Amino acid sequence: MTKEIKKNNSDGVSRRDFLKDAGLLVSGTAIGSTVLLAACGDGETVTEKITTTVTGAGATTTKTVTAGEMVKTETITQSKYVCPVDGMEFDSLADLQAHFENEHGGEATSADLNVINLTINGKLYEVQIEPYWTLRHLLHDVLEFISVKDMCCEQGQCGSCAVLADGKPLLSCMLLAIECDGRSIQTAEGLALENHPLIEAYVNNHCSQCGYCTPGFIMTAKGLLDRNPNPTADEIAFALEGNLCRCSTYPYHIQAVLDASSSL
């Protein structure tokens, strides 16, 4: 059974909104979007239930528009589900659950199937994971949030994989994905959607040289500003000290955070 996450949406679903959201969520080949285009015009009320799927490399976005409702429903699921007991593969979670209950007995809970739910940048994801995956692996390698960098340390050495988990800056290479069930994650992509002043401050202060570490710095800085909106230069340096920058543009980061602080 695929869980449906419903959101109130007073604007209904337009073709433009759909395509914009789909492109934002998953970069990949759009399959089936023409179905929606054929059935529903800009601002029209949907007259029949339509399910549309956008398939990316590692995940599938399904949008269901229900007839007669001005409701946008969104479920972000995977394209392949694997039985953790016998390794058999299924096209949907419902099929896997049915298989698990029939073959292995008992109700298949999320924990049984290694399925977690987590909110990423305001959208809810339902994903099957391997128990040994780090949050960084899930975010970057599976769900393709490419802002979540890594300097291949996997030991919390560099800070480039920093994200906000329930508002706190954490190193995603040091968290197992399975520990993040139910948590709310924000990445630099999400911060950009907010148009947070840190983004412009970083651009205007010419902080990035190679730029690989920049999203990690920005997310750490966001965590600081959330708990201390008016930090001093020393407080900023202390907060960002765990983030490495091989190009070493450190002083410009401090100025950028000060500038962002004054714009909050």
Partner 1 sequence: MTEEYTVIGKRGYRHAEGLPKATGKATFNRDIKLPQMLYGKMLIHPNAHSKIKSIDISKAEALPGVVSILKYDDAELQGIRPLFGQADAYSVQTDEYYFWGEECNIAVCAESEEICDEALSLIQIEWEELPFLLSAEEALKADAPLVIRNPNIKNEHPEMLPPWVNTTLEGNYLFALEFAWGDVEQGYQDADVIVEENLSYEYLEFAPAECDSVVVDIRDNDEVVFYIQEQSGVAIQQTFRSFFPQLPMSKCRIEKHYSGGTYGLRHNNFHPRPTLFALLFAQKTRKPIKILTDRKGDFYYHDGKIESCKLKIGVKNDGKITALSTDSLIGGGLGTTVGARFWSKDTIIPNFFLHEDQLAVSKAPVTAFRCELNNGAYHFSKVFDLAANAVGMDPTLIVNANTRNAPSLLECIKSGKEIIDWDSKWHSSGSKQLSNGKYHGLGFTWTEEWDGHHWSASGGVRICSDGSVLILGNITDFGVMPMTSVKIMCAETLGVRFEDVHFPPQQDTTCFLWEGMGGSCGLHTNSMVIKAAAEKAKKLLLERAVQPRQALYQVLPPAFPDLTPDDLDVKDSMVFEKSNPENKMSIPDILVWRENPCPAAWIGPLDIQVCVSQGETETNHEIHDASIPSTYYQAHFAEVEVDSETGFVEVTKIVNVNDIGQAIYPEGIETQQVGGTLMAWGRALTEEPVYDPMTGVLLNCNLLDYKYSTMRDCGTIIPKYLEVGEKGEHDGSGAYGNVGIGEDTATVVPAVILNAVNNALGTNINSLPVTPTKILKALGKI
Applying CB under 8 A, which residues contact partner 1?
28-29, 57-58, 140-141, 144-155, 157-158, 160, 187-189, 191-192, 198-199, 202-204, 206-215, 218, 237-238, 240-254
Cβ-based nearer residue to partner 1, 72 or 222: 222
Pairing between strand 81-82 and 123-128?
unpaired
Nearest approach, Cβ of residue 158 and partner 1 (Å) = 6
Residue with tokens 């016998």: 86
d(CA 185, CA 206): 27
| Smallest distance, partner 1 to C-beta of residue 23, A | 12
Nearer to partner 1, 30 or 192 (CB): 192
Beta bridge partners of 120: 123, 185
Closest approach, Cβ 172 to partner 1, in A, equals: 13
50 or 254: CB nearest partner 1: 254
Closest distance between partner 1 and the C-beta of residue 222, in Å?
A: 12
Q: What are phi and psi of 90, to 5 degrees?
A: -135, 155
Of the pair 42, 226, the CB lying nearest partner 1 is at: 226
Q: Contact 126/146 with Cβ under 8 angstroms?
A: no
Distance of CA 168 to the CA centre of its chain: 16
Residue 252 CB contacts under 8 Å (≥ 6 apart), including other chains: 205, 206, 207
CB of 99 to partner 1, least distance (A): 20
By beta-carbon proximity to partner 1, the closer residue of 52 and 186 is 186
How far from 161 is each of 26, 89, 152, CA to CA, in Å? 20, 31, 10
